[in-house]
Structure 1
């Protein structure tokens, strides 16, 4: 069911009226309340969200709990113009303002959207981006050329977990829900001695999934089976020196049996696929404040991930049809990522240029290696490849108070990138590039509650090599992409900080936009296989609006909402997508919700979220359907424990997280057909949590 505009307006007004009536009826004797302060930590300095001159969304632990979120994919729809795609057991690929990857097969990819978790680069291993003991998720829209460089062309997602505390605290949480879903998590932290604190967290997440395999008579071939651990230490080495250590481990053994020849949640696969990941990661950060002029921050991170992704290519069993074929495609990767950074940040009262300007400067090192082994039915020998990329960058940023009301921020990043690719087909590529990005932002402080800003920023994404010998030479390599972003916005506090709003308008121009394409080839035994590749289009641009609001009406009612409007355009006279919108870029998406405190420990909440239809791919013109989802929760809590009954997608709408268009059904003579991976159906669950 698609929510028509009139129905959406009616639903919105009804929710608003009910909330307002509830608010007026509530006992409002105590008016001394306000929204909690939100500090953004993904920048060079921690800053209040109202002071950061860019469009961003911050999701705190309270909102994560309200949504019963256990993975980043459960939060993405809260952020305007931010989406995710699957084609796997989890959403691994993210798109901001219509820019971002949607899948990975043979070729190495450099992500358009960076994902950082506790200082660890998770951009290529997003399946492990869980909300285990998470404190805050920050989603920055637009290029982060100064802050992060090549892996943040479209934006950055920063996940921060709870730090060690000076007193012992912890929690245990368990969830049971439909589809035999069971989740258990626990976290505890506190002081070891006067100088060392710790925090450890663990989670086990299991589910049979939403697919039934009629051929194998199983209901768990698309299952979830995840175990995660995180440990943190905070060491006060001296009065001027703080050391933070983080260790992370993920063991994921999920099934992947999501596509059906009949576009349902019932499959006929005789070899159900899998989506496995084992990640070990470590991060260390040192903060030294022993100099009057600056703070020295140094950091180091390393991750080692073994990934295995495989699927039944024919989606059926041997003998399903006289014209049928039977094949399996499997990708085994080992990804290693190392980062190192040294940063100087000006200390308070150490401003330069007549005490008007704070400054930051730093050096950054990045190395990623990715070794692939592809096992495929129609390959006589396994395909293997090796990819290695190294980047070294220098950056700096000034924040200048031009007057009491105007602040100018200017930043520049220069990055040298060198990659090497080779495979057992004899292909070799060794591109090298010098990349330049940055930003200039002007803030106007209207008063203590209102800030207006204008922003120009430039991001980049390195070129690369298409790893497939079946492609012509003209498609083997693709060039570096640059993105110019022009943005104006306003951030406001109203009603003594009971209402917070932010709104931005943006225009983005892409140079040498990297667009994913596909070619299909006939299998020897029947059916069709994909050849995916990346090419550069002639011209691409986008523009739109992003708005968010949160209102503490009184101590009993809070309202929240967001709206994203997006118009994208791709132009290339030689391509099928010429003159149309980019893939995974709905023209609108929104959320609207209310939370209620009924007193004596009882609480409830309701929200709707929706988005317009969108193209599944840049290589064909098939689209999803627009949808609206209804979620609700009811619970009881005390100081030490809580119980919540919740429901997601209560009207059981069909949503789509991935779509392909090709011939794969022998019953139709392998006629081209849209095949879709369906999102989660209605889910009902119960979550209990104890704090100590």
Structure 2
């Protein structure tokens, strides 16, 4: 038998056989602290799979948005279908989109302690200290918001000393960015940090009909104020005020599956968020510390698009598109019976209001239990989310809905030292989840559930440089309601999904701490798996409309391996690797369409590439110059659970040449240097009148070749 070498296998083999030299190099690794857990700890000591993308790695990627750094975490993917990737999948679990129906997320997103789940379009990375990706159910800490994991973005904190920074960027596609941050103490007790940033681009599509290059433009603004107030020696207040304005275009699909569109009414991808978080930490007693966290946000969003991707009737003649008058009189709501094409738009206006309260007691050294062997955490959590939707759709007219979600939870964790090598941690969360939904189609559904989950972890210190661990977790995601008025009552609601996740890992440090390694193997059994089904139904106008609904698959399974390491090859060269191997499968799932019953048993789950990895080499050239080269690769994967279209496997190359002086930096960057077309969203339906609306494969592409210059000045 001849084995085929996959790109991941080649990369992992290189990691194993690489000759390591210069063994006398001093320890150059710095502690990387994870802030999202109950107790802040180094990433090498946390007994779970966690990736931290620090400020240096963000800078080396010239990354301005979360989507640009997610590949640095193993088995993490994203789906676009908008101007930015804002729907995330961890280990094959996560949503791909949102249209009419309310969505309970599988992957949580938090920015400076503020819940931004489902609002990833505003996840900018200016003045960010680090991005933390916690993989696996986070039931004890975050509950129903983190079935698959949590992504936590932490910006830079206020400093004691006065400092500031100004940055700028110029690139192709008329890319421009300008930002500034200033930080320091305004008194003995108060420290402030203010950051502002604006990022614009024409985007990467050309609209031939409108003769414009900016219908998929980027226009993003950020304003953030952080304050740290020392009330006294035992009490501190931390305040974050955040304003995000995103006014991007959305014109991502073409009838020719290229970067040239023909839409007469391009869409928008808008998010305006005002948010605040206030945290009071107190050494309330000798036995425990108190943490009170309050956060809230108001977000107005618009997601809209030209549904026909053209101007009315679209006729192909030779090599040029020819446009005839719009066959549909949309002002009268009528369509000509003999029209060969159609024209329609779809517009979703959503308003979100979110409030959170988290009260937590954490044991101190004096408060440990059972002979000073056991640390403890106990907390109370309360959340409310209100989501209102106004839909404006050509074929159905106005539609509106209201969803009110409330949750209360009690949680706790015990961490016991059994002996010098062995420790056990037990976490548990009980949550009461309530929803109230109603809409203009007279659908009115109330739902209340009692949910619980948690985690038990054993960690064993093999020696002072190696930590082994094993865990069993139970994650949960609440059920909900399908809103399509034509759906069968049997599919009107869907149930809670529970995941049982086994994980084992090894974290080690060697070669005088020059090599940091993290390896994890996992198996997830998905019970009552929530699966989004979507299929096109012919309408009376010659086009198609979609029927979307969520249903429960009987079971699914996801398992794989993840490897990360950071290696200082010499004083000048660092090598970072992150790789994931993932297998997913529906064990028992079928769904109904107008064409009959389809079985998905044995098929892979959507957004689940079998392999994905990144390699990054950073070389200090001397005299302030540095070179960073990155390789990013991903296997093909199904683009949806409701059709069989797959993305293409791809490999991307990035590079950056930088110059670092005492107070300023200058860099030339290039992303996707070989200009690979890779897919970030895909559908299978009929939308082209030239072939009678035959079902076809439609895709949206990720970023093409990007290059530019960027600089920073520190003061």
TM normalised by structure 1 equals 0.96
| Map 1:40-189 → 2, pairs under 5 A | 40-189=34-183
**SS of residue in 1 equivalent to 2:145:** helix
Residue among 251, 256, 273 paired with 2:250:
256
Which residue number corresponds to residue 332 of structure 2?
none
2: CA distance between counterparts of 1:14 and 1:623? Answer: 29
Note the C-alpha offset of 1:574: 2.7
Per the TM alignment, residue 10 of structure 1 is displaced from its structure 2 partner at its CA by 7.0
SS of the counterpart of 2:140? Answer: coil
Distance in 2 separating the partners of 1:216 and 1:599: 49
Q: How far apart, CA to CA, are the structure 2 residues paired with 1:239 and 1:31? A: 41
Distance in 1 separating the partners of 2:458 and 2:23: 41
Q: 1:378 to 1:172 in 2, by over 3 A?
A: same
Spell out the pairing of 1:472-511 with structure 2 (5 A cutoff): 472-511=488-527
Please give the residue correspondences for 1:224-623 in structure 2 after superposition, counting only pairs within 5 Å.
Answer: 224-321=218-315, 322-379=339-396, 381-575=397-591, 576=598, 577-623=600-646
Higher alpha-carbon deviation: 659-668 or 549-558: 549-558
| Partner Cα distance (1:9, 1:360) in 2 | 42
Cα distance in 1 for residues equivalent to 2:368 and 2:6: 55
Tell me the equivalent position of 2:680.
Answer: 657
Q: Deviations over 1:557-583 (max 9, x none)?
A: 000101100000113353342220000
Paired residues for 1:183-198 under 5 Å: 183-198=177-192
In structure 2, how many angstroms separate the alpha carbons of the residues matched to 1:9 and 1:518? 35
Alpha-carbon distance in structure 2 between the residues aligned to 1:481 and 1:468: 21
- The count of aligned residue pairs is 682
Query: Displacement, 1:36?
Result: 1.0
8 Å CA contact 1:378–1:524 kept in 2: the answer is no
Contact 1:583–1:617 under 8 Å retained in 2: yes
Match of 1:666 in 2: 689
Compared CA separation, residues 307 and 36, structure 1 to 2 (3 A): same
Distance in structure 2 (CA, Å) of the matches to 1:643 and 1:651: 23
Secondary structure at the aligned position of 1:430 is classed as strand
8 Å contact from structure 1 (residues 39, 46) kept in 2: yes
- Structure 1 residue 13: deviation in Å? 8.3
CA distance in 2, matches of 1:342, 1:663: 52
Larger CA deviation: 307-316 vs 47-56: 47-56
Specify whether residues 317 and 471 from structure 1 end up closer, same or farther in structure 2 by C-alpha distance, changes over 3 A only: same
Distance 2:12 2:379 in 1: 47
Task: Compute the displacement of 1:376 (Å).
Answer: 0.5
1:98 is displaced (CA, Å) by 0.5
In structure 2, distance between residues paired with 1:15 and 1:394: 44
- SS of the aligned residue for 1:148 comes to helix
Distance 1:239 1:10 in 2: 55
Q: Distance in 2 between matches of 1:408 and 1:560?
A: 31
Note if contact 1:33-1:554 (Cα within 8 Å) is conserved in structure 2: no
Q: Distance in 2 between matches of 1:570 and 1:75?
A: 29
Displacement after TM superposition at 1:8 (Å): 7.1
- Paired with 2:645 and 2:655, the residues of 1 have a C-alpha distance of 32
- Residue 366 of structure 2 aligns to a residue in which SS? coil
Of the structure 1 ranges 31-40 and 669-678, higher mean CA displacement relative to structure 2 is found in 31-40
1:303 & 1:405 partners in 2: Cα distance?
Answer: 44
Q: Deviations over 1:307-353 (max 9, x none)?
A: 01100000000232451100000000101110101000001232111
- Given the alignment of the two structures, is residue 642 of structure 1 paired with residue 665 of structure 2, yes or no? yes
Asked whether the 8 Å contact 2:128–2:153 carries over to 1, the reply is yes
Contact 1:33/1:555, CA 8 A, preserved across alignment: no
Cα separation, 1, equivalents of 2:120 and 2:703: 19
In the other structure, the counterpart of 1:199 is 193
Change (3 A) 1:51 1:312: same
Give the CA deviation at 1:532.
Answer: 1.3
Mapped contact 1:514–1:537 kept (Cα < 8 A): yes
Task: Say whether the 8 Å CA contact 1:12–1:592 is kept in structure 2.
Answer: no
- Structure 2 residues not aligned, in runs of 5+: 316-338, 592-597
1:645-668 per-residue CA deviation (whole Å, 9 max, x = no partner) reads: 111111111110000000000001
CA 1:553 to 1:651, structure 2 compared with 1: closer, same or farther past 3 Å? Answer: same
How far apart in 2 are the matches of 1:303 and 1:573?
A: 38
For residue 30 of structure 1, report the CA deviation from its aligned partner: 8.2
8 Å CA contact 2:89–2:148 kept in 1: the answer is: yes
| 1:29–1:157 distance in 2 versus 1, CA, 3 Å | closer
Unpaired segments ≥5 residues, structure 1: none
Against the structure 1 CA distance between its residues 456 and 11, is the aligned structure 2 distance closer, same or farther, given a 3 Å change threshold? closer
**Could you say if the C-alpha distance between residues 8 and 234 of structure 1 is closer, same or farther in structure 2, counting changes exceeding 3 Å?**
closer
TM-score normalised to the size of structure 2? 0.93
Cα root mean square deviation, aligned: 1.7
8 Å Cα contact 1:198/1:231 also seen in 2? yes
CA contact (8 A) 1:352 1:358 kept: yes
* Alpha-carbon distance in structure 1 between the residues aligned to 2:446 and 2:528: 19
In structure 2, distance between residues paired with 1:183 and 1:148: 34
Q: 1:687 to 1:251 in 2, by over 3 A?
A: same
Residue 33 of structure 1, CA deviation: 3.4
Structure 1 CA distance for aligned equivalents of residues 135 and 236 of structure 2:
31
Distance 1:188 1:334 in 2: 32
SS of equivalent to 2:590: coil
Measure how far apart 1:414 and its partner are: 0.2
Structure 2 CA distance for aligned equivalents of residues 643 and 663 of structure 1: 48
Partner SS, residue 209 of structure 1: coil
Deviations, residues 245-294 of structure 1 (Å, cap 9, x unaligned): 00000111100000001100000000001101100000000001131000
Match of 2:705 in 1: 682
Distance 2:14 2:271 in 1: 45
